[in-house]
Structure 1
Amino acid sequence: MCTAMDSAVEIDLSGTIFKTKRLTLKAINGSYLSKLNDTVNKYYFDKDPTLFRHILNAHRDGTVHVPRDVCPMLFKKELLFWNIPLSLVAPCCWKYLYEAESDVETFKILLQEENKYDSTNKVDEAQVGIKQTMFAGDSMTDSEVIEDVNENQIGNKRTRASRVWLFLEEPGSSAAAKIWCFFYIFVVILSVVAYIIWLDPSVRVSQYLTKNPKVDALANQTIYEYMVYIFNEKVVLLASTDPHPALLCLDIFCVVFFILEALVHFSMCPDKRNYFLNAYHLLKIFLCISMIISTYFECRKDLLDEHDFRLGEIYHAFKSCYALRLLLIFRLHKIYNGLHIMVLSLRYSVKELLLLGFSFLIAVVVYGCLIFSAEIETDMFPSTQIAMWWSLITMTTIGYGDFYPTTTWGYVVGIVCAINGLIVLALPIAAIASTFSSLYSRNADFQKHMTEVRKQKQILCVEKETLMHCETFEIV
Structure 2
Amino acid sequence: MDLITINVRGTIFMTNASNIRNILLTSPLLNLNEHSQYYNPKRQEYFFDRNAAVFETVLDYFVTDKLHVPTNVCAERVREELAFWGIPDRHIEKCCWKTFFQSTEDMNTLQKLLKYIPCVQRRDRCCSWTPTPKRSQTYDMRSRMWSFLHDYQSSTSAKVHHSLICMTILISTILMLLKTVKSVRYENPIPLQLENHTSEALRMYWNTSPHMSIVILEAITNTFLTIEWMLKFATCPNRTFFMKQFLNVTDLMAWLGTWVTLTLDIKSCAFFFSTGHLMPVILPLCILTASRGFRVFRLISDNCGVKILVLSVYSSLRELCILLMTFSCAAIVFAILLYSVQLQSNSRMSPSDAVVAIWWAVITMTTVGYGDYYPTEPLGHVVGVICSITGIVLIALPIAVTSSTFSDFYNFSKYRACYQELLEKDGENDKKTGYNNEVVPM
Tell whether the 8 Å contact from 2:8 to 2:50 is kept in structure 1 after alignment.
yes
1:168-224 Cα distance to aligned partner (Å, 9 max, x none): 2233333333332232222221111112111323311243xxxxx42399xxxxxxx
Tell me the TM-score normalized by structure 1. 0.78
Deviation of 1:248 (Å): 0.7
Whose RCO is larger (CA < 8 A, sep 6+)? 2
Say which of 412, 416, 428 aligns to 2:398: 428
Say which of 114, 119, 130 aligns to 1:155: 130
AA of the residue aligned to 1:413: V
Report how many residues are paired: 415
- Residue 333 of structure 1 is matched in structure 2 by 301
- Residue 317 of structure 1 is matched in structure 2 by 286
Distance 1:270 1:154, change over 3 A: closer
- Residue 441 of structure 1 is matched in structure 2 by 411
Distance 1:439 1:200, change over 3 A: same
Deviation of 1:321 (Å): 0.5
- Residue 455 of structure 1 is matched in structure 2 by 425
- Residue 215 of structure 1 is matched in structure 2 by 191
Structure 2 distance, partners of 1:375, 1:436, is 43
Deviation of 1:17 (Å): 2.1
- Residue 246 of structure 1 is matched in structure 2 by 213
Q: Which consecutive residues of structure 1, in runs of 5 or more, have no partner in the other structure? A: 1-5, 124-147, 208-212, 218-226, 467-476
Say which of 20, 24, 27 aligns to 1:32: 27
Tell whether the 8 Å contact from 1:14 to 1:47 is kept in structure 2 after alignment.
yes
Deviation of 1:397 (Å): 0.1
AA of the residue aligned to 2:30: K
- Written as runs of structure 1 = structure 2, the 5 A alignment for 1:227-238 is 234-238=201-205
Comparing 189-198 with 60-69, greater Cα deviation is found at 60-69
Tell whether the 8 Å contact from 1:117 to 1:172 is kept in structure 2 after alignment.
no
Say which of 181, 185, 195 aligns to 1:200: 181
Identical residues among aligned pairs (%): 25
Do residues 357 (structure 1) and 360 (structure 2) align?
Answer: no
Do residues 59 (structure 1) and 55 (structure 2) align?
Answer: no
Do residues 416 (structure 1) and 386 (structure 2) align?
Answer: yes
Distance 1:281 1:358, change over 3 A: farther
Structure 2 distance, partners of 1:343, 1:424, is 22
Say which of 341, 346, 361 aligns to 1:374: 341
Deviation of 1:245 (Å): 0.6
Tell whether the 8 Å contact from 2:53 to 2:70 is kept in structure 1 after alignment.
no
- Written as runs of structure 1 = structure 2, the 5 A alignment for 1:457-472 is 458-459=428-429, 462=432, 464=433
1:293-339 Cα distance to aligned partner (Å, 9 max, x none): 4334444411234332314533662365055234433x5332x3222
1:429-458 Cα distance to aligned partner (Å, 9 max, x none): 111111111111110111012213432554
- Residue 17 of structure 2 is matched in structure 1 by 22
Instruction: Give the secondary-structure state (helix, strand or coil) at the position aligned to 1:434.
Output: helix
Deviation of 1:292 (Å): 3.9
Do residues 111 (structure 1) and 114 (structure 2) align?
Answer: yes
Say which of 8, 14, 18 aligns to 1:13: 8
Distance 1:401 1:347, change over 3 A: same
Do residues 401 (structure 1) and 389 (structure 2) align?
Answer: no
Say which of 69, 80, 84 aligns to 2:72: 69
Instruction: Give the secondary-structure state (helix, strand or coil) at the position aligned to 2:328.
Output: helix
Instruction: Give the secondary-structure state (helix, strand or coil) at the position aligned to 1:333.
Output: coil
Structure 1 distance, partners of 2:288, 2:253, is 12
Aligned Cα root-mean-square deviation (Å): 3.1
Structure 1 distance, partners of 2:405, 2:313, is 9
- Residue 170 of structure 2 is matched in structure 1 by 189
Comparing 336-345 with 437-446, greater Cα deviation is found at 336-345
Instruction: Give the secondary-structure state (helix, strand or coil) at the position aligned to 2:14.
Output: strand
Deviation of 1:278 (Å): 2.2
1:243-284 Cα distance to aligned partner (Å, 9 max, x none): 111101122223333333322222222222322332222322
Instruction: Give the secondary-structure state (helix, strand or coil) at the position aligned to 1:63.
Output: coil
Instruction: Give the secondary-structure state (helix, strand or coil) at the position aligned to 1:101.
Output: helix
Distance 1:394 1:442, change over 3 A: same
- Residue 134 of structure 1 is matched in structure 2 by none
Instruction: Give the secondary-structure state (helix, strand or coil) at the position aligned to 2:66.
Output: coil
Tell whether the 8 Å contact from 1:304 to 1:311 is kept in structure 2 after alignment.
no
- Residue 269 of structure 2 is matched in structure 1 by 301
Structure 2 distance, partners of 1:175, 1:304, is 49
Comparing 84-93 with 284-293, greater Cα deviation is found at 284-293
Do residues 172 (structure 1) and 172 (structure 2) align?
Answer: no
Tell whether the 8 Å contact from 1:405 to 1:411 is kept in structure 2 after alignment.
yes
- Residue 83 of structure 1 is matched in structure 2 by 86
Say which of 280, 299, 304 aligns to 2:247: 280
Comparing 74-83 with 401-410, greater Cα deviation is found at 74-83
Structure 2 distance, partners of 1:461, 1:176, is 24
AA of the residue aligned to 2:176: Y
Tell whether the 8 Å contact from 1:10 to 1:43 is kept in structure 2 after alignment.
yes
Tell whether the 8 Å contact from 1:293 to 1:315 is kept in structure 2 after alignment.
no
Instruction: Give the secondary-structure state (helix, strand or coil) at the position aligned to 1:32.
Output: coil
Structure 1 distance, partners of 2:16, 2:292, is 76
Deviation of 1:366 (Å): 2.2
Tell whether the 8 Å contact from 2:128 to 2:237 is kept in structure 1 after alignment.
no
Tell whether the 8 Å contact from 1:204 to 1:244 is kept in structure 2 after alignment.
yes
1:349-398 Cα distance to aligned partner (Å, 9 max, x none): 22223222222222222222222222122342112232111111101101
Instruction: Give the secondary-structure state (helix, strand or coil) at the position aligned to 1:20.
Output: strand
AA of the residue aligned to 1:36: N
